[in-house]
């Protein structure tokens, strides 16, 4: 397991942190890869170049990606199987599926009703009126709005209270920049007129206020003065509202042309509704742990269907810190006190890691487990944190054993023996790839080629640093760099057989599945005898 130990700020600091405008983060890679698979580098108004066929599109852990890809898939040719990884397949998409079906989409659930994966059979939608609920996610509505010019005249009527309204403003603002107007009637009705088309344009991506918010919070908690650059003070981004909350706590904020300066003055208990900026509810809850009194955070219902059940996760970690926290369906209450340092479990959630890192800049002895989850939205977060005055150390507990070798070389047999001997879990990279792709390795290679398979293999390996015994096939030149410097953290056993003998075995029986559990000979057999 990888753990980060953060050194708290020694006192109030003055520092400048550049907030990234556009980083190659996991949430961007999934929709880009899906667009590439269906024949487009960038999808604009012409989907005619997309060919008939069956496409397996993986959104990995990105809720944004799976919702946007699903809507787009309903208007491009072919059969599209869309899935996620882990928790994403437990996040509801029924409201979006039902809305698309109102426009003529044919969509089947592959496993559980209302959740990914899904199979999209349609390639065209009809203009008309859609009624959909707005209580779960604004991304359902954004997905429909963005495909509207490719459908024709579209009206959307929202039932119930619309959550995360600023994200809808951002969607409409981006559509306008590319030549399409969408009318918003009080967040209850939307109208996109027929005859509009997206046009190519130069578009500058703003610095991300969601990323900046953690540094705003650090300044408030530690009494520091931080300057965050690459930020537009006139943005429509939802998380700029977090600054108003911090001002309500007594902190001073200065808005400059391309930067925000926050002078931290401390934190105090507040009562706020975060329905329009729910991504920072976790950060506020962490600040509330240090504030005297009762902090009430309303509008948190959408957090229950995010990367993890965030309300439960926040409560659990705050209680570990000796902070009382309780919740209802849409409200989280935190009673500030004297938090104690603990190891924070991140639940595979990038925002859990970054939110509790805020506490670590104040509280000595805090540890963040599985810190690489921040790659989902802010890959350079830990380096930016160090630039703000909070350096960190990386520690590996119970490091991995990595087995690398050709197919049929004995990895599976050796891995099983090692796992039994060390009481660790055995993970086979090929098994995980087959699960993600929904087909056997041979089928993946036949349909998409070795280069595609090796790319998927690299992605899987990047996520396996915290697992104990991992088996994978041979590395190619350059794979060390492609896999982010992936190395065994504890031991590496070279299973060396005679080159001529291994080539003969590989040529004679290339079907690795048939060799699993077979008698292991050569270097692998010798190693297993020593292990016993």
- Provide the pLDDT for residue 50: 59
Mean pLDDT of 77-81: 93
Per the DSSP assignment, residues forming a β-bridge with 80 are 55, 120
| 401-404/469-472 β-pairing | parallel
- Cβ distance 323 to 334 under 8 Å? yes
Is residue 126 a known part of a binding site?
A: no
Name the token pair of 162.
């619309």
DSSP string of 254-317, one letter each residue: EE-SSEEEEE-------EEE-TT-GGGHHHHHHHHTTSSSEEEEE--GGGGGSSS-HHHHHHHH
- Better-scored residue on pLDDT, 358 or 487: 358
Burial class (CB in 10 A: 0-12, 13-18, 19+), 395: exposed
CATH number assigned to the domain covering 401-531: 3.40.50.300
**Could you tell me where the beta strands, DSSP code E, fall in 73-135?**
79-83, 107-109, 118-120, 128-133
Instruction: Tell whether the model's pLDDT for residue 510 goes beyond 50.
Output: no
238-241 long-range contacts (CB < 8 A, ≥24 apart) are 238/164, 238/166, 238/167, 238/170, 238/209, 238/210, 238/276, 238/277, 238/279, 239/209, 239/210, 239/212, 239/213, 239/277, 239/279, 239/280, 240/209, 241/166, 241/276, 241/277
User: Please, which pLDDT band fits residue 525 given cuts at 50, 70 and 90?
Assistant: low
- Provide the pLDDT for residue 108: 97
Which residue among 26, 208, 279, 370 is the active-site one? Answer: 279
Mean pLDDT of 331-352: 96
CATH superfamily of 2-22+207-396: Enolpyruvate transferase domain (3.65.10.10)
DSSP string of 340-387, one letter each residue: ---EEP-TT-HHHHHHHHHHHTTSTT-EEESGGGGGGT-TTHHHHHHH
Cα–Cα distance, 328 to 324 (Å, whole number): 14
Mean pLDDT of 19-33: 57
Torsion angles phi and psi, residue 141, rounded to 5? -70, -45
CATH topology agreement for domains 2-22+207-396 and 26-192 = yes
- Provide the pLDDT for residue 88: 87
Is residue 164 a known part of a binding site?
A: yes
Mean pLDDT of 249-255: 97
Cα–Cα distance, 260 to 339 (Å, whole number): 29
- Provide the pLDDT for residue 494: 38
Cα–Cα distance, 396 to 421 (Å, whole number): 20
- Provide the pLDDT for residue 351: 95
Q: Lowest-pLDDT range, 165-179, 254-268, 372-386, 408-422?
A: 408-422
Q: What spatial distance separates the first Cα and last Cα of the chain, rounded to whole Å? A: 26
| 343-344/367-369 β-pairing | parallel
For 330, residues 6+ apart whose C-beta sits below 8 A from its C-beta are: 298, 299, 300, 301
- Better-scored residue on pLDDT, 227 or 62: 227
Local structure of 516: helix, strand or coil: coil
The domain ranges of the chain are 2-22+207-396, 26-192, 401-531
- For residue 431, indicate whether it is catalytic: no
Mean pLDDT of 283-291: 98
Is residue 234 a known part of a binding site?
A: no
Percent of the chain scoring above 70 in pLDDT: 80
For the chain, count helices (H), then strands (E): 18, 23
- Provide the pLDDT for residue 403: 81
- Better-scored residue on pLDDT, 437 or 295: 295
Tally Cβ neighbours within 10 Å of residue 199: 11
Name the token pair of 403.
């087995």
- Cβ distance 305 to 135 under 8 Å? no
Is residue 310 a known part of a binding site?
A: yes
- Provide the pLDDT for residue 250: 94
Is residue 73 a known part of a binding site?
A: no
Cα–Cα distance, 387 to 15 (Å, whole number): 8
Tally Cβ neighbours within 10 Å of residue 83: 22
Cα–Cα distance, 368 to 225 (Å, whole number): 24
Is residue 476 a known part of a binding site?
A: no
**Residue of 493, 477, 341 lying closest to 402 (CA atoms):** 493
- Provide the pLDDT for residue 527: 56
- pLDDT tens for residues 386-432? 999 999 999 887 667 778 777 777 888 888 888 888 777 788 888 88
Q: Lowest-pLDDT range, 182-196, 283-297, 471-485?
A: 471-485
Name the token pair of 95.
């409201």
Mean pLDDT of 167-183: 97
- Provide the pLDDT for residue 476: 39
Is residue 114 a known part of a binding site?
A: no
Mean pLDDT of 140-165: 95
In b/e form, how buried is each residue of 355-385, taking b as 16+ CB within 10 angstroms? bbbbbbbbbeebbbbbbbbbbbbbbbbbebb
What is the residue whose two structure tokens read 């981006």?
Answer: 174
In whole angstroms, how large is the CA radius of gyration of the chain? 25
Instruction: Tell whether the model's pLDDT for residue 211 goes beyond 90.
Output: yes
User: Please, which pLDDT band fits residue 462 given cuts at 50, 70 and 90?
Assistant: low
User: Please, which pLDDT band fits residue 451 given cuts at 50, 70 and 90?
Assistant: confident
- Provide the pLDDT for residue 278: 93
- Provide the pLDDT for residue 11: 85
CATH number assigned to the domain covering 26-192: 3.65.10.10
User: Please, which pLDDT band fits residue 102 given cuts at 50, 70 and 90?
Assistant: very high
Mean pLDDT value across the chain: 84
- Provide the pLDDT for residue 524: 59
Is residue 351 a known part of a binding site?
A: yes
Is residue 137 a known part of a binding site?
A: yes
Per the DSSP assignment, residues forming a β-bridge with 159 are 133
Cα–Cα distance, 25 to 438 (Å, whole number): 24
């Amino acid at each position: 397991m990888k753990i980060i130990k953060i050194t708290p700020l020694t006192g109030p600091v003055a520092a400048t942190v550049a907030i990234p405008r556009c980083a190659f983060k996991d949430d961007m890679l999934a929709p880009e890869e899906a667009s590439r698979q269906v024949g487009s580098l960038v999808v604009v108004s012409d989907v005619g170049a997309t060919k008939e066929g069956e496409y397996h599109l993986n959104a990995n852990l990105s809720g944004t990606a799976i919702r946007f890809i699903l809507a787009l898939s309903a208007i491009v040719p072919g059969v599209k199987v869309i899935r996620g990884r882990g928790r994403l397949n437990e996040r509801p998409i029924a409201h979006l599926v039902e809305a698309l079906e109102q426009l003529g989409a044919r969509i089947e659930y592959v496993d559980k009703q209302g959740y990914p994966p899904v199979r999209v059979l349609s390639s065209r939608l009809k203009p008309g009126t859609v009624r959909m609920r707005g209580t779960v996610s604004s991304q359902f509505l954004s997905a429909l709005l963005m495909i509207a010019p490719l459908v024709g005249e579209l009206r959307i009527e929202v039932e119930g209270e619309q959550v995360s309204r600023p994200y809808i403003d951002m969607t409409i603002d981006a559509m306008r920049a590319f030549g399409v107007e969408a009318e918003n009637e009080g967040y209850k009705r939307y109208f996109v007129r027929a005859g509009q088309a997206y046009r190519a344009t130069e578009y500058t991506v703003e610095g991300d206020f969601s990323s900046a918010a953690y540094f705003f919070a650090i300044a408030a908690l530690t009494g520091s003065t931080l300057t965050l650059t690459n930020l537009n003070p006139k943005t429509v981004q939802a998380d700029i509202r977090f600054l108003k909350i911090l001002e309500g706590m007594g902190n001073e904020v200065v808005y400059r042309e391309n930067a925000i300066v926050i002078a931290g003055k401390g934190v105090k208990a507040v009562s706020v509704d975060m329905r329009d900026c729910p991504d920072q509810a976790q950060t506020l809850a962490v600040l509330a742990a240090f504030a005297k009194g009762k902090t009430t955070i309303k509008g948190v219902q959408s957090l229950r269907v995010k990367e993890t059940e965030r309300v439960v996760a926040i409560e659990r970690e705050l209680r570990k810190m000796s902070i009382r926290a309780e919740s209802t369906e849409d409200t989280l209450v935190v009673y500030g006190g004297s938090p104690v340092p603990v190891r924070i479990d991140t639940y595979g959630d990038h925002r859990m890691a970054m939110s509790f890192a805020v506490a670590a800049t104040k509280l000595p002895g805090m540890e963040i487990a599985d810190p690489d989850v921040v790659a989902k939205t802010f890959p350079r977060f830990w380096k930016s944190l160090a630039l703000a005055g909070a350096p960190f150390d990386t520690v590996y507990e119970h490091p991995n054993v990595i087995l690398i070798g050709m197919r049929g070389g004995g990895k599976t047999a050796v891995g099983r023996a090692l796992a039994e001997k060390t009481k660790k879990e055995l993970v086979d990279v090929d098994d995980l790839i087959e699960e993600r792709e929904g087909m056997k390795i041979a089928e993946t290679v036949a349909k998409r080629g070795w280069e595609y398979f090796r790319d998927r293999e690299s992605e899987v390996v990047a996520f396996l640093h915290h697992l104990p015994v991992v088996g994978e096939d041979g590395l190619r030149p350059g794979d060390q760099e492609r896999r982010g410097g992936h190395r065994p953290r504890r031991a590496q056993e070279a299973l060396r057989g005679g080159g001529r003998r291994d080539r003969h075995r590989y040529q004679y029986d290339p079907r690795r599945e048939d060799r699993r559990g077979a008698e292991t000979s050569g270097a692998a057999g010798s190693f297993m005898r020593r292990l016993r």
